[in-house]
A and B are shown apart, each in its own frame.
Chain A
Amino acid sequence: MASYFDHAATTPMSKAAIEALNQQIGQLGNASSLHTQGRSVRKAVEEARESIARIAGASPSEIVFTGSGTEANNLAIKGFYWKRLGEDSARNVIIISAFEHHAILDPVEWLEEHEGAHVIQIPVTRDGIVDLEALRDIVDHNRAKIAVIAVMHSNNEIGTIQPIKEVVEIAGDIPVHTDAVQSFGKVEFNFDQLGVTSATLSAHKIGGPLGVAALILQRGIDVTPILHGGGQERDIRSGTLNAPAIVSFAAAAQDAELHRVQRYAELRTMRRYLIDAIRAVLPDIWVNGDIEPSLPGIANITFPGTESDGLLLLLDAEGIASSTGSACSAGVPRPSHVLLAMGLSERDARSSLRFSIGASNTRSEIDHLASVIESVVDRARAALARQ
């Protein structure tokens, strides 16, 4: 039996999204062309834009389509940094939470190494929430020098939802970017109401296709572009629009939104079922970031005395897919920076595995996991003990 518990990495495309993709991929035309075919594709793209905007609580002109969530995050971080530094050479400070996704962490680190940025990380609590008092302090001390603040809307490894409204309040007139890749379509997300300056969405996390995403950027706000060459998207992002993927993204967003509340409840129940099933055989496990509000399907579990890549290998052999967090470019597993930021020891961070549940999972898949987890953990413990 194959049990896929890695929906936070990517999740199956919804039927609606596949249909939309199939339909649009046969259509001729470049959305930038002025003739009939071009206009026809443009129309499909603009309808998709409007639909995504409506679901995300933004206006259509605020949606900038990109080739990935990673690209959208890069555009926001580097774009704000260069734009605001250009306006005032004192503004070289970037503030991010300590447990951002690598699609934020890495561009920020790159700016620090190559572009003179000064980075300050906001600590996170043991529960996995950014420390607002610390943020207030950091902002008070650096206000005039801050280029941008980035705090993710929800954390991809542990699922906790962040107090973005409060972050925006503290930031005042400093731009706030939020990586909402994991939240959009799964929990309530409204760009306008949050008051952030920009946000990232990605299609493949909500049943859309891979390789299409969006940066929502407040009207009237400009960032320095990274890609030049045609200016298709508000002159902020260039490249021929991937119309089939965009149309499919919109279909996935509609489907996700339509079922969001019901799915949230279902996934939350399934997640609890999974945790209880594992705990029944392994009482010494614990769940990281087990608080409300959270993404419905993520369970990040520490199995003390194990090495998570050993667990992953053994579970994979049983047909069970899980995740150890991030790996470096060569594929070497690393202890999760998210768990380390929350104050776990390196040892415990290396003993943790993420299960992320999606709409396709069944109770019998979880029962299957529960039936093998004890022997898997026993072997992983033996492996670590021998080192």
Chain B
Amino acid sequence: MKVIAAMSGGVDSAVAAARAVDAGHEVIGVHLALSSNPQKYRSGARGCCTIEDSHDARRAADVIGIPFYIWDMAEEFHEGVVENFLSEYAAGRTPNPCLRCNEKIKFAAVLDRARALGFDAVVTGHYAQMRETDLGRTMHRAEDPLKDQSYVLAVLNKTQLDGAIFPLGDTHKEEVRKEAKRRGLYVANKPDSHDICFVPSGNNASWLHDRLGTETGPIVDEDGTKLGEHQGAYTYTIGQRKGLNLTVPAEGGVPRYVLKIEPVTNTVVVGVKESLAVSGIVGEKAIWCGPAPEPATQYRGFSQIRAHGQPLACTYSTDGESITVALDEPLFGLATGQGLVIYDGDRVVGSATISATL
């Protein structure tokens, strides 16, 4: 096949590209420039948008022996990911920008462009496995549980996944580093990227603060009694316990947690842990990574609500558009806006954006 290897400048995508060459594909390396001003989202040593990263990616492509180009996705990234991240926070939700980036950039804008230019697929260094099963081509968790990225890929529909190749899904990260070294890729020891690539400091709250500004509002208990003040409701997440700066002490010293964020009134509601308990989840805009479940049918499976969260045993059903989950055990601290991903064993069934909790 003719494939585009998305090369971030890190070790994973470099090895993925090399493996695609070994597999006999005709590979072209592409680095996505996600900021029109490479310094803008700069994060010192790491991040996905620095000049160093584009050089590292170019160098890796040289070593692998494939052509290399830079594609400007700055506008798409800014509109589709950064602005969405801000507006979601401003609306009191907790978005996952990596999910969004996979959905809107890597496997939409890039894959579309690649296909139009005559390529068949996009290769990335994500840790997930595509398998041919009785259900067709399906996505599964990676071999390395610590690296598994199936959660952030669950926003891809079947058509997108048909154009995706993840050569690292069957390998542990340590092996990938060793392989990079064997292949003479000097990014072998480059540190992993953490956090959100466009938040340079890794400090979400202060980054949001600089962009969304300060808006003082009340922190109240479930009865509406004011317990303190905050500088912007968006800096809180559901389930947060530390850093609330409450001026009214809790009765009997019972710890209090953020229960709700109300963007319209700029209010943060806190209360006891029990009030955080969630036994059901509703997600909108369902996306199926493989065959769609039958509507109005109850299935057993697992829900995951964070990139490295635990899979939670559940029963789920769908009406086609949304997914409703009944958890076996209650869950504490769940924010709307997060991604709900449904697994059947290690197979990714699909995903939805959490819109309500029950």
Taking beta carbons and an 8 Å cutoff, which residues of A are in contact with B? 309-310, 312-314, 316-317, 327-333, 379-380, 382-387
- Please tell me if the beta carbons of B117 and A313 are within 8 angstroms of each other in the complex: yes
Count contacts between A and B, CB distance < 8 Å: 59
- Please tell me if the beta carbons of A387 and B109 are within 8 angstroms of each other in the complex: yes
CA distance A327 to B36 in the complex (A): 11
- Please tell me if the beta carbons of A317 and B67 are within 8 angstroms of each other in the complex: yes
- Please tell me if the beta carbons of B113 and A332 are within 8 angstroms of each other in the complex: no
- Please tell me if the beta carbons of B109 and A379 are within 8 angstroms of each other in the complex: no
- Please tell me if the beta carbons of A333 and B113 are within 8 angstroms of each other in the complex: no
Q: Does B74 contact A (CB under 8 A)?
A: yes
Contacts known (A314-B118, A385-B116); A332 close to B28, Cβ less than 8 A: no
Across the interface, B116 reaches (CB within 8 A) one of A312, A317, A329, A386, namely A386
Q: Does B72 contact A (CB under 8 A)?
A: yes
- Please tell me if the beta carbons of B33 and A331 are within 8 angstroms of each other in the complex: yes
- Please tell me if the beta carbons of A387 and B113 are within 8 angstroms of each other in the complex: yes
Q: How far is the CB of B339 from chain A (nearest CB, A)?
A: 25
Taking beta carbons and an 8 Å cutoff, which residues of B are in contact with A? 28, 31, 33, 36, 38, 50-51, 54, 58, 67, 69-72, 74, 76, 109, 112-113, 115-118
Interface of chain A, main secondary structure: helix
Q: How far is the CB of A272 from chain B (nearest CB, A)?
A: 30
Q: How far is the CB of A377 from chain B (nearest CB, A)?
A: 11
Chain A residues in 8 Å Cβ range of B36: 332
- Please tell me if the beta carbons of B28 and A313 are within 8 angstroms of each other in the complex: yes
- Please tell me if the beta carbons of A329 and B38 are within 8 angstroms of each other in the complex: yes
Across the interface, A309 reaches (CB within 8 A) one of B72, B74, B115, namely B72
Residue of B nearest to A327 (CB): B70
Chain B residues in 8 Å Cβ range of A383: 112-113, 116-117
Chain B residues in 8 Å Cβ range of A380: 117
Please list the 10 inter-chain residue pairs (A to B) with the smallest Cβ-Cβ separation, ordered nearest first.
A383-B116, A382-B116, A330-B38, A332-B33, A331-B70, A386-B112, A330-B51, A330-B54, A383-B113, A332-B72
CA distance A310 to B33 in the complex (A): 15
Q: How far is the CB of B2 from chain A (nearest CB, A)?
A: 9
- Please tell me if the beta carbons of A333 and B116 are within 8 angstroms of each other in the complex: no
Chain A residues in 8 Å Cβ range of B117: 310, 313-314, 379-380, 382-383
A-B contacts, 12 listed (Cβ < 8 Å):
A309-B70, A327-B70, A330-B33, A330-B54, A331-B58, A331-B70, A332-B38, A333-B70, A382-B117, A383-B116, A386-B112, A387-B109
Chain B residues in 8 Å Cβ range of A313: 28, 67, 69, 117
Chain A residues in 8 Å Cβ range of B115: 386
Residue of B nearest to A331 (CB): B70
Q: How far is the CB of B54 from chain A (nearest CB, A)?
A: 5
CA distance A312 to B72 in the complex (A): 14
Chain B residues in 8 Å Cβ range of A382: 116-117
Across the interface, B69 reaches (CB within 8 A) one of A309, A385, A386, A387, namely A309
Contacts known (A310-B113, A383-B117); A329 close to B51, Cβ less than 8 A: yes
Chain A CB within 10 Å, residue with most, of B36, B69, B74, B115: B69
CA distance A251 to B113 in the complex (A): 47
Chain A residues in 8 Å Cβ range of B67: 313, 316-317
Q: How far is the CB of A384 from chain B (nearest CB, A)?
A: 8
Residue of B nearest to A332 (CB): B33
Residue of B nearest to A329 (CB): B51
CA distance A310 to B70 in the complex (A): 10
Chain A residues in 8 Å Cβ range of B76: 387
CA distance A385 to B67 in the complex (A): 24
Additional A-B contacts beyond A309-B70, A330-B33, A332-B38 (15; CB < 8 A): A309-B69, A309-B71, A314-B117, A331-B31, A331-B33, A331-B54, A332-B70, A332-B74, A333-B70, A379-B116, A383-B113, A384-B116, A387-B76, A387-B112, A387-B113
CA distance A327 to B71 in the complex (A): 11
Residue of B nearest to A334 (CB): B72
Q: How far is the CB of A168 from chain B (nearest CB, A)?
A: 38
Q: How far is the CB of A303 from chain B (nearest CB, A)?
A: 14
CA distance A331 to B58 in the complex (A): 10
CA distance A382 to B118 in the complex (A): 10
CA distance A327 to B67 in the complex (A): 17
Chain B residues in 8 Å Cβ range of A312: 69
Chain B residues in 8 Å Cβ range of A329: 38, 51
Chain B residues in 8 Å Cβ range of A331: 31, 33, 54, 58, 70
Across the interface, A330 reaches (CB within 8 A) one of B70, B109, B118, namely B70
Chain B residues in 8 Å Cβ range of A327: 70
Q: How far is the CB of A385 from chain B (nearest CB, A)?
A: 7
CA distance A384 to B69 in the complex (A): 17
CA distance A385 to B113 in the complex (A): 9
Chain A residues in 8 Å Cβ range of B118: 314, 379
- Please tell me if the beta carbons of B71 and A386 are within 8 angstroms of each other in the complex: no
CA distance A316 to B26 in the complex (A): 14
Q: How far is the CB of B218 from chain A (nearest CB, A)?
A: 45
Q: How far is the CB of A31 from chain B (nearest CB, A)?
A: 35
CA distance A313 to B116 in the complex (A): 13
Q: How far is the CB of B38 from chain A (nearest CB, A)?
A: 4
CA distance A328 to B116 in the complex (A): 26
Residue of A nearest to B118 (CB): A379
Q: How far is the CB of A109 from chain B (nearest CB, A)?
A: 14
Q: How far is the CB of B303 from chain A (nearest CB, A)?
A: 34
Chain A residues in 8 Å Cβ range of B112: 383, 386-387
Residue of B nearest to A382 (CB): B116
Chain B residues in 8 Å Cβ range of A386: 112-113, 115-116
